[in-house]
Structure 1
Amino acid sequence: MPHPATAQKLRFGANYTPTQGWFHHWLDFDLDAVRADLDSIAQLGLDHIRVFPLWPLFQPNRTLIRPRAVEQLVALADAAAERGLDVNVDGLQGHLSSFDFLPAWTRTWHRRNLFTDPDVVAGQEAYLRTLAAALADRPNFLGMTVGNEVNQFSYDPHPDPDRISPEQAARWLERMLAACEAGAPGRLHLHAEYDAAWYQDGHPFTPAQAARLGGATAVHSWVFNGTAQRHGRTGTATEHHAAYLIELARAWHTDPHRPVWLQEVGAPAPHIPAEHAARFTEATVANALDCAHVWGVTWWCSHDVSRGLADFPELEYSLGLLTVDRAVKPAGKAIAGIVEEWRGREHRPAPRTTALVLDTDPVTAPDRSVCAPGGAFFEAWAALTAQGVRPAVVLAAYAHDKEHLAARGITATVTPEEVV
């Protein structure tokens, strides 16, 4: 009898970036424009979207969660349902495309730690619970993501971080996930960090938290993090970066069947030039789907950002599968082709029988930089992959655990030092 994670069909979706006003569209919410956007997403064959309320607009005061904003979120979810699209909602925005969106009641004169102040945490719980409860009766509501890469507020290089310990990060995550569950019991609630959780020494949000808290492990794969700069646009490490993060995440899983959601991945120019975006998209998704227990792939993002909006990093303007005019781009055609290829197929990749051993503490992982681009472990995994090995990752603590290895189909291990 297959585990439910293996029996579930692959999911393909997009992070929804509205064509009118970007995420500022909540200020001038136009349901007809949203419907037109969703039509263009559905035409690619996608089955879900990830949606981003702007936290300061939805909860401008700690004790005011705007009913009208919540109604608009529900209207968006209902419009998605009419087009066969399921919806995941990120609650605490938080951070999007280089901009921070934090309520005034957490900053400057009201400066309080986002993760430890009792009043702030209680306000966050109320907000997440309210959004989840508003959607709990919608069949197309997948569940909540606590927030988008909220971990960036906790440590360097953020210019004004709210510093916490790993223990405080874990307590905060547990409370936020519990609030989501209280609002919408039984849905897929999870949290999502940017790759500092996997790559940065001393970062308070840890791989163990990502891999063990919530209903799935989310990974966000961006090759502008040094991967493409070091290995080039067609390098093995570049085209397998998403697969590497999935396998790295699985090393920390205590449930070998736990799903991994490739929740963000995109083709950022100039690291991936526009004329090569389709190839990168096809290679990245194919390599990611060569990993076991992948829940799905959610591309960043649905539509380009209008050049009429100022001050975005250059790469953010052109990440869409579709243009601002809703025309399909080469990466969009590639995704549509992938969706068609997988229609009706089961996702059962062959086991990765050889695992690269990562020697780090299984809870705190103090020396994560070895896993980052340029690090000894990262480069060894890329070298093995270039040799056609299809490496998994196993923590040194489990490298001699026969039951753990058997559950994952691992029959051989190799250390980074042994990689030629």
Structure 2
Amino acid sequence: MDQLVRLVDLAADEGLDVLVDGVQGHLSSFDFYPEWTRSWHHRNVFTDPEAIEAQAVLLRTLGGALAGRPNLIGLQLGNELNNLVEHNPVTVTQVDHYLDTLLAAAREGLGAPGGLVTHSAYDAAWYGDDHPFTPEASARKGDVTTVHPWVFSGDCARRYGPRSPQVQHLAEYGTELAKAYAVDPVRPVWVQETGAPEPHIPAADAPEFARETVLNVSGCTNMWGVTWWCSHDVDRSLADFPELEYTLGLFGSGGRPKPIAESLAATITELRAEPWTPQQRETALVLDCAPSTRSTSGPGGTYFETWMDLRKQGARPAVVLAERASDETYLASRGIKELLRTP
């Protein structure tokens, strides 16, 4: 804890804000577990009562140690925890209990006024049929919805091409999809992870991809922010990383900015000089899918392609769940006046 607090304070000295993850989950293509859950007495991190309580103790302790730090954004339960379901079978109900328990522990640790308390999942939560981490959990639990719209999800970049509208509007689409599942019509959405992984996005296309991604997302209402993954390339002397990790950074492993960094910096400067004011989206495409057909909203799915076709034609469609399509009060709260449906 002392080392972590020191690290957060060093970040403050450099003008950096920090969100601290409790259980790391997934990072640079490796899954991280509490080591005692991996021994001969394996514990399911999502369902074992003692494992859940241990994680709750960790989050309360983290919150107490970091509370009051001026550069602390808040606590996140862990990064893309749903990567761990393969070795920790869990049901939707058990995931909900897990998230509720740990979010409460994080809030207790931070105290008042505290900071953001949230969680994150990779795209299977949005696109994966019957995946136990649901869109509802992502969009309704915690203080902000986080989305990780990677271009390799659903083979998006390879399916449509690295310069395609489907790729350049993917983060915008993910943001609008997340807003549809929220109960609160003004709940903020954080594009927490997006990036330009080779070979999905060739290096020559990365600067334009970064610019278009940020500009398109900035046209969404209720945007909390965008964070880019990642800062630096992994040095080639470090073995056993997937190939894309070696070139995923904004900076080379030696610290020099790459063209994508320069493009991103210029785009941010432009937006700060003349902020792009988002306009309410008056037209929405109705999404009618059950947990077992969630993939229709992912790349290659009928709903995804219909939304993208509308976007290519110049429309700026919102997303509305079929179950809310007749709720006039809800539609009015989002400024929606026209509903469209997939063929």
Same fold (TM over 0.5): yes
1:189 is displaced (CA, Å) by 0.7
Could you tell me whether the CA contact under 8 Å between 2:63 and 2:110 is conserved in 1?
yes
Partner of 2:4 in structure 1? 73
Partner of 1:180 in structure 2? 106
| 4+ runs deviating over 6 angstroms | none
Could you tell me whether the CA contact under 8 Å between 2:16 and 2:71 is conserved in 1?
yes
Ranked by relative contact order (alpha carbons within 8 Å, sequence separation 6 or more), the top structure is 1
1:324 is displaced (CA, Å) by 1.6
Identify the match of residue 94 of structure 1 among 25, 28, 32: 25
1:402 is displaced (CA, Å) by 1.1
Partner of 1:201 in structure 2? 129
2:32 maps to 1:106: no
**3-state SS, counterpart of residue 389 of structure 1:** coil
Identify the match of residue 391 of structure 1 among 317, 338, 342: 317
State how far apart, in whole Å, the 2-side matches of 1:260 and 1:193 are.
13
State how far apart, in whole Å, the 2-side matches of 1:345 and 1:141 are.
28
2:296 maps to 1:370: yes
What TM-score does the superposition give when structure 2 sets the normalisation length? Answer: 0.96
2:53 maps to 1:141: no
Identify the match of residue 222 of structure 1 among 132, 136, 150: 150
State how far apart, in whole Å, the 1-side matches of 2:322 and 2:31 are.
38
**3-state SS, counterpart of residue 192 of structure 1:** coil
State how far apart, in whole Å, the 1-side matches of 2:7 and 2:275 are.
30
1:296-335 mapped onto 2 (5 Å cutoff) = 296-335=225-264
Partner of 1:42 in structure 2? none
State how far apart, in whole Å, the 2-side matches of 1:366 and 1:211 are.
18
2:169 maps to 1:240: yes
Task: Kindly tell me the number of residue pairs found equivalent between the two proteins.
Answer: 340
Could you tell me whether the CA contact under 8 Å between 2:92 and 2:134 is conserved in 1?
yes
What TM-score does the superposition give when structure 1 sets the normalisation length? Answer: 0.79
Partner of 2:205 in structure 1? 276
Gaps of 5+ in 1: 1-69
1:121 is displaced (CA, Å) by 0.6
Name the aligned partner's letter for residue 312 of structure 1: F
Partner of 2:192 in structure 1? 263
User: In the superposition, relative to structure 1, how do residues 89 and 347 fare at CA in structure 2: closer, same or farther (>3 Å)?
Assistant: farther
State how far apart, in whole Å, the 2-side matches of 1:101 and 1:168 are.
20
1:360 is displaced (CA, Å) by 2.7
Q: Deviations over 1:210-264 (max 9, x none)?
A: 0000000000011012110111011111111111110000001111110000000
1:266 is displaced (CA, Å) by 0.2
Gaps of 5+ in 2: none
Could you tell me whether the CA contact under 8 Å between 1:267 and 1:280 is conserved in 2?
yes
Partner of 2:286 in structure 1? 357
1:379 is displaced (CA, Å) by 0.9
Partner of 2:138 in structure 1? 210
Partner of 2:330 in structure 1? 404
Name the aligned partner's letter for residue 295 of structure 2: S
Identity of aligned residues (%): 51
